Amino acid sequence: MKKEEELLRDLKEMIKETRNGAMKWKILCQSTEYNDADQKPVVEENGVKWQVDECYVLYQTTYKGKEFLMISYEMIHSTAQKERTTNLIFLPPAGIRFFDVSVLLPYAVECDQMLAYEVHTLWQTLLEEHKKHPELIELDAEPRELTIEDDK
Mean pLDDT of the 122-143 span: 93
| pLDDT band, very low/low/confident/very high, at 1 (cuts 50, 70, 90) | low
**Domain tally for the chain?**
1
Residue 152 belongs to some domain of the structure? no
Higher pLDDT, 90 or 143: 90
pLDDT of 133 higher than 70:
yes
pLDDT of 148 higher than 90:
no
Residue 148 belongs to some domain of the structure? no
The distance of Cα 81 from the centroid of its chain, to the nearest Å, equals 24
Containing H/E element for 113?
A: helix 113-132
Q: Please, what is the average pLDDT of the chain?
A: 90
pLDDT of residue 106: 94
pLDDT of 151 higher than 50:
no
pLDDT of residue 5: 92
Determine the length of the chain. Answer: 152
pLDDT of 149 higher than 70:
no
Mean pLDDT of the 128-133 span: 94
pLDDT of 37 higher than 90:
no
Residue 32 structural domain? 3-143
Residue 151 belongs to some domain of the structure? no
Residue 79 belongs to some domain of the structure? yes
pTM: 0.88
Residue type, 132: K
Residue type, 145: E
4: left (phi over 0), alpha (psi -120 to 50) or beta: alpha
Residue 45 belongs to some domain of the structure? yes
Mean pLDDT of the 59-84 span: 94
Task: Phi first, then psi: give them for residue 22, nearest 5 degrees.
Answer: -100, 5
pLDDT of residue 152: 40
What DSSP assignment string belongs to 44-92? EETTEEEEEEEEEEEEEEEETTEEEEEEEEEEEEE-SS-EEEEEEEE--
Residue 149 belongs to some domain of the structure? no
Residue 133 belongs to some domain of the structure? yes
Higher pLDDT, 27 or 146: 27
**Spatial distance between the Cα atoms of 16 and 14, rounded to a whole number of angstroms:** 5
Residue 150 belongs to some domain of the structure? no
**Spatial distance between the Cα atoms of 120 and 9, rounded to a whole number of angstroms:** 14
